[in-house]
Amino acid sequence: MRNEEEMMDLIMGVARNDDRIRAVYMNGSRVNPNVPKDIFQDYDIVYVVTDVAPFIHDQAWLTTFGELIMMQEPDKNDCGEEGIDHTKTYGLLMLFTDGNRIDLRLQTKEAMIETYGEDKLTRPLMDKDNSLPSIPAPTDVDYHVKPPTEEVFNSYTNDFWWCLQNVAKGIWRDELPYAKLMFEYTTRDALHKMITWWIGIQEGFQVSPGKLGKYFKNYLPESYWSMYEATYSDADETHMWDALFVTCELYRTLGQDVAAHFDFTYPMGDDQNMTNYLERVRQLPADAEGIY
């Protein structure tokens, strides 16, 4: 597998040797000093070019980067989504046979001026025409946990407890896809939000728990992490119920801490009522003609 130095030499060499490429900059995890390096990190690169179209229409130049396992062109896959001008910007996501991945975006100078520096994790690498505006040093501050307002806290907490009824009836009806997807799209979404707020409090809102919570394990105490692991279950009905009640316990624990920190009111009445309801549904026989 080519190392970082080899990959960056290649990326910059392509840019130096092609007069159509006028500037290069990088985004993403490789710009973030708080992200540990590993073999799966992408190279998020932007080439500022004189004209995007020639790079798209004749892609033979891409072979310089190496042999591909697969490539995705997300702008081609947008199926005509409105508001995207492919003459100004175009993405090429490339996975190579040595395991390296380059997420390359081509953009005109006009497009660069519109967006450059909006992502604070941006580092200039080459500027043949001195066209890249001056920006501060890269920082992941935009990805730090943000404190919730009371309205946002109440909204997520209400949604968490309300939507559990949908998960419960999906389990009782033996509707596995419905139960699983309702759990992931509503219950876990609210749980993740509460976890990020709790982590934010512990860390002074100076950290990012990562995309989709990928760094939760780094910030949660071992006991809470064990509970979080237990929120995942297989398709067994008993295991699904067990995971649901662990999820409720974890949400309740963290939710009360977050509410106390911000002097919010945790809805213990909703919590107790819905927990009792879930326990009732769990005990219902398959041929039940009523819930109570």
Beta-strand relationship, 89-96 and 101-108: antiparallel
What digits encode the pLDDT tens for the residues 271-286?
999 999 999 999 999 9
d(CA 108, CA 128): 14
Instruction: Flag whether pLDDT at 85 surpasses 80.
Output: no
Transcribe 222-273 into DSSP letters: HHHHHHHHTT---S-HHHHHHHHHHHHHHHHHHHHHHHHHHT----HHHHHH
Q: Which fold has domain 4-139?
A: Beta Polymerase; domain 2 (3.30.460)
Give the pLDDT mean for 68-87. 78
* pLDDT score, position 34: 87
pLDDT at 82: 55
Parse the chain into domains and list their residue ranges. Answer: 4-139, 144-283
The CATH superfamily assigned to 144-283 is: Nucleotidyltransferases  domain 2 (1.20.120.330)
What mean pLDDT is reported for the chain?
95
pLDDT level of residue 84 (50, 70, 90 thresholds): low
- Residue 19: what residue type? D
CA gap 174, 237 in Å, rounded: 8
Percent of the chain with pLDDT over 70: 97
Per-residue confidence (pLDDT) for residue 19, from 0 to 100: 97
Q: How confident is the model at residue 238 (pLDDT cuts 50, 70, 90)?
A: very high
Domains 4-139 and 144-283 share a fold: no
Query: Would you say residue 35 has pLDDT above 60?
Result: yes
State the pLDDT at residue 76: 87
- Phi and psi of 41, rounded to 5°? -65, 135
What is the pairing mode between strands 43-49 and 68-72? unpaired
Q: What is the pLDDT of residues 129-158, one digit of tens each?
A: 999 999 999 999 999 999 999 999 999 999
Report how far residue 45's alpha carbon sits from residue 24's, in angstroms, rounded to the nearest whole number. Answer: 7
Q: What is the DSSP string of 137-183?
A: PP--GGGSPPPPPHHHHHHHHHHHHHHHHHHHHHHHTT-HHHHHHHI
**Average pLDDT rounded to a whole number, residues 163-179:** 97
Per-residue pLDDT averaged across 103-124, rounded?
95
